Chains A and B, each alone.
Chain A
Amino acid sequence: MFNTRIRVPETAAAGEAVEIRAMIMHPMDNGFTYSTQGTLIPVNIITDFTCRYLGEVVVQVRLEPGISANPIFTFSLRATESGPVEFEWIDQNGDVTTASADLTVT
């Protein structure tokens, strides 16, 4: 599990487009950098990010080493009814980090 920051508004009107933001603490080592000792730092990246709302996919992202460290994504979902907004990050070793927040639809 890595540290994450997510932003989901607490409430939204039905039909509203809601901005969602999600960030994770991760170096996204791209395999081209060298340590202070001069050794090559191997590739170490988050490969997949998914956001679901009421169990349905909002966005699903495939990340490459060209994404900056501490990847952040901003996108929007269409509010329909109250329920969870869930986030999942998977790194290249298959380790999963999750976060979630509830959205109340009025």
Chain B
Amino acid sequence: MIDRRRLLAGAGGLAAIAVVPLPAAATPADAAAAITEAFGDDRPFTDGPIIIEAPALAETGNSVPITVRAERAMDAPDRITRMALFSENNPRAALFAVSFGPAAAEAAIATNIRLNGTQQIICVAETADGTLIRAIHEIRVVVSACTTLEAQF
């Protein structure tokens, strides 16, 4: 049987080959600042029909499938016009922002995001009458995007 330490050193992903400083992770405060930048700080958050769908446990932080969806009709006066996603632990808090135009059938979009480890994802949505809705979702990540960066050759 071969020595487990040696194996770990190997499959652990080459940290010794290129020793690189890891980027500083964002904090919940950075996420809050990014939210303020996008939506201002003069409106309270309310609860609302925003659903974040993502695997409870993601295999790799390099690509985590995520869907954000508002369960509210697009012809309602308080329909969702804009949504933005924020990370509490990535080097940059802002992940993406989406505006829904008149041709959208619903306020919903799916994509793949990078996550630097287990963390909370925050979705802020803005309605046509100016209210803000916030939803929070925790995602656990097996291998985070940023600790494997140096193994990308």
Contact = CB atoms under 8 A, between A and B. Distances in A.
State yes or no: do A and B touch (Cβ within 8 Å): yes
B1 interface: no
Interface string B94-135: 111111111111101111111100000000000000000000
A59 B146 contact: no
B74 A63 contact: no
A11 interface: no
Interface residues of A, number: 34
A67 B102 contact: no
A91 B62 CA distance: 20
Interface residues of B, number: 38
B92 interface: yes
Contact of A59 (B18, B20, B87, B104): B104
A102 to B, nearest CB: 15
A57 interface: yes
A61 B74 contact: no
Given A61-B109, A73-B111, A78-B103, A33 B18 contact: no
Contacts of A33: 149, 152
Contacts of A66: 87, 90, 92, 94-96, 113-115
A38 interface: yes
A60 interface: yes
Contacts of B64: 68
B103 A58 contact: yes
Interface of A: 17-18, 30, 32-36, 38, 52-54, 56-69, 71-78
